[in-house]
Amino acid sequence: MTRAWAVGLDMGGTNIRCAAVSVAGDVLLIEHGPSLASRKAGDVAENIAAQTLHLLDTARRRGLGSPRAIGVAVPGPLNVHTGTVMQAPHVAAWRGYPLRSKLEVLIGRKVVLDNDANAWALGEYWRGAARGRRDVVLLTLGTGVGGGLIVGGKLVHGRSGMAGELGHVTVNPEGPPCDCGSNGCLEAYASASGLRGLVEARLGLRPGSPLPEQIVDSEKNFSVRGLSAQARRGDEIALEAFATAGHYLGIAIASFLNIFNPELVVIGGGVAGALPYMRKTMTAQVRERAFTAAASQAKIVQAALGPRGGVVGAAYAALHPATRP
């Protein structure tokens, strides 16, 4: 007897993860490939379809049979009703692109599409830190800041599926510019690009200038891991940058507590590993700004699933159509 399963595919700016996920949420099989995000709109979609078909083939050969459903998570605001990507930060060619219908033609099956942060939130809800909770605010602190909202056990999509852009609440109207075109968003502080900006400002560097070697990776790109290592060594600039990011993260979380009265705030993404360096200033702002009753009811915890959260959640979305808008 084969186990019932679904495809969960998670496309990032660089890589695609494509997995067979059982109806219990176990990853039975996982494959990796490039996103090819800089290609033409149709080519990027064809690449997703090809990786899905490859997984289906591998699964068949391993005796898993056919999936019950196919879930695909991609970055960026999209309309979950129409399956159209409004605008994807990493895929310049996708602007108003009808991704779901393209994939359905290429794969020959129904596809459930959602954005990557929502998929990750569903993953944490199904199998991670938010398991069994009904009211959860989830934040991914990565290159940018994404979010997912679970209210009453359901993902909040809003009118067209764009809800949950928690990185783009204003935490300081006088704050630095944000990649979204506004300024003083949470993302302008508590993301990799926000931290980079804080370090640049502190060092008096113009945006995009070469950075000290301790805080860049082998390709000379800013590295949150490098900044964390500096903080661990007691470097003042690194500690200050994390303290500032934590301060504004706390301001945002206090607002979320007052808005949602959640049971749990889950923080994931690459920057979440540096939470120890942000927690003090974060907690101070939460204490100062959230209603005590709301704050005392919500724990603030790190995500549990890591990079597999997206594929697990994409599979969950596909397997649970009742959670769709």
Residues that bind a second copy (CB under 8 A): 77, 86-87, 134-135, 147, 149, 151-152, 154, 156-166, 168-174, 180, 182, 185, 248, 251, 254-255, 258-263, 288-289, 291, 293-294, 297-298, 325
Q: CA 296: distance to chain centroid? A: 26
Phi, then psi, of 50 in degrees rounded to 5: -65, -40
User: Is 97 or 248 the residue whose CB approaches a second copy more closely?
Assistant: 248
C-alpha span between 245 and 239 (Å, rounded): 10
Q: CA 302: distance to chain centroid? A: 13
Residues 6+ apart with CB under 8 A from 296: none
Read off the DSSP letter of residue 38: T
First to last CA, the chain: 33
User: Is 166 or 305 the residue whose CB approaches a second copy more closely?
Assistant: 166
For residue 188, which amino acid is it?
A: A
Residue 305 Cβ vs a second copy, minimum distance, rounded to whole Å? 23
User: Is 189 or 222 the residue whose CB approaches a second copy more closely?
Assistant: 189
Name the residue among 181, 124, 158, 100 with its Cα closest to residue 324.
158
Residue 85 Cβ vs a second copy, minimum distance, rounded to whole Å? 11
Residue 148 Cβ vs a second copy, minimum distance, rounded to whole Å? 11
User: Is 104 or 263 the residue whose CB approaches a second copy more closely?
Assistant: 263
User: Is 133 or 202 the residue whose CB approaches a second copy more closely?
Assistant: 133
Residue 136 Cβ vs a second copy, minimum distance, rounded to whole Å? 10
Residue 81 Cβ vs a second copy, minimum distance, rounded to whole Å? 11
C-alpha span between 207 and 199 (Å, rounded): 10
CB atoms within 10 A of CB 220: 10
Strands (DSSP E) contained in 99-158 are 112-115, 136-141, 145-151, 154-155
Residue 64 Cβ vs a second copy, minimum distance, rounded to whole Å? 34
Phi, then psi, of 95 in degrees rounded to 5: -130, 105
Name the residue among 10, 282, 34, 290 with its Cα closest to residue 146.
10
Element (H, E) at 143: none
Residue 12 Cβ vs a second copy, minimum distance, rounded to whole Å? 21
User: Is 27 or 284 the residue whose CB approaches a second copy more closely?
Assistant: 284
User: Is 205 or 294 the residue whose CB approaches a second copy more closely?
Assistant: 294
Residue 110 Cβ vs a second copy, minimum distance, rounded to whole Å? 22
User: Is 152 or 234 the residue whose CB approaches a second copy more closely?
Assistant: 152
Name the residue among 25, 87, 23, 17 with its Cα closest to residue 54.
17
Element (H, E) at 253: helix 236-260
Q: Which residue has the tokens 């999209």?
A: 78
Residue 109 Cβ vs a second copy, minimum distance, rounded to whole Å? 27
User: Is 101 or 297 the residue whose CB approaches a second copy more closely?
Assistant: 297
Distances (CA, A) of 148 to 138, 166, 198, 207, 249: 5, 8, 25, 30, 16
